Amino acid sequence: MRRGSIFGCCSLLLILAAAAFLRAQEVVDRIVARVENDVILLSDVRELKEYQEMLDGKSESDSAILDRLIDQWIVRSEAQLSRFPEPKDEEVDREVSRVVKSFSSAEEYEARKKQSGLNDREVRRIVAAQLYLSNYLDSRFRPSVQIDEKAIEDFYQNAVVPRAKARGQEPPTLDASRDIIQDALVQSDITEQADRWLKESRDRLRVQKYLEEGPK
C-alpha cells in the first residue's frame, strides 16, 4: 500500500510537471497569424526581431515585424509556386560575408550576434531566406524597370551634389557616379513595384492576426 502510494504520487507529479511544461511551451511559442492555410509563430517574430537588433541595434515593433513576415510569406509562396531556385551556397557565403563586413570589425559582429541570442547557423538561415526573397523580387520586377538619362541627371543634381557639399567634399563627376546612380534608381523602382504588388496581394489574402492575444 505504501509503495503504491509513493508510485501514485510520483506519477501525479510527473503529470503535473508535464502539464506545466506544456503551458510554458504555449507561452514561449504560439500562433500570431494565419495566412490562408499557413501560420506565423511568435518565434518567427522574435527571430526576425533578434536579427534586426543584431544589424541595427534596434528593431521594429512586433506588429511591424509581423506585417513584414506576412509580406515575406507572399513573396515566398509566389517564388515557390514558380519553382524559383534557392540561392547557391557561394551566394549565401558572399551575403553572410557582406553582413559581417557591415560592422566596424569582426569582433563587433560577434559581440552583437551574441547579444542578440542568434548563432551562426540561425544567421546563415535568415540570410539565405532573405536572399531568396530579394532574388525573386529582382527577377520579377527588374525587366520592367526603365531609367532614362534625365532621371540620372536629376538624382545627381538633387542628391549626390548636395550631399557632397554638405560634407565639405568636392562632388564626383556625373560620369563617375552614373553606374551607382542607375543601380540606386533601379533598386528604388523595384521596391516601389514590389510594394504595390504586395499591397494588392494582401487585399486578396485571408489573414487573421493574433499578436495581442492568442487565438480563441
> 211 falls in which pLDDT band (50, 70, 90)?
confident
Domain containing residue 39: CATH number: 1.10.4030.10
**Torsion (CA) 41, 44, 46, 51 in degrees, nearest 10:** -170
Q: Give the mean pLDDT of the chain.
A: 88
* Residue whose C-alpha is closest to residue 87's, from 48, 138, 50: 138
Percentage of residues in the chain having pLDDT higher than 90? 83
Residue 80 lies in a domain: yes
Pairing mode, strands 207-209 and 38-41:
unpaired
Residue 21 lies in a domain: yes
| Structural domains counted in the chain | 1
Q: What is the pLDDT of residues 52-103, one digit of tens each?
A: 999 999 999 999 999 999 999 999 999 999 999 999 999 999 999 999 999 9
* Residue whose C-alpha is closest to residue 185's, from 162, 161, 139, 154: 154
Residue 216 lies in a domain: no
Q: What is the pLDDT of residues 182-206, one digit of tens each?
A: 999 999 999 999 999 999 999 999 9
Half-sphere exposure (Cβ direction) of 145: Cα atoms closer than 13 Å = 21
d(CA 32, CA 6): 42
Residue 215 lies in a domain: no
pTM: 0.78
Contact residues for 98 (Cβ-Cβ < 8 A; gap 6+): none
103-106-107 Cα angle (round to 5): 105
Q: Are 209 and 31 in contact (CB under 8 A)?
A: no
> Any idea which residue has 560575408 for its cell?
97
Residue 214 lies in a domain: no
**Domain, as residue range, for 183:** 2-209
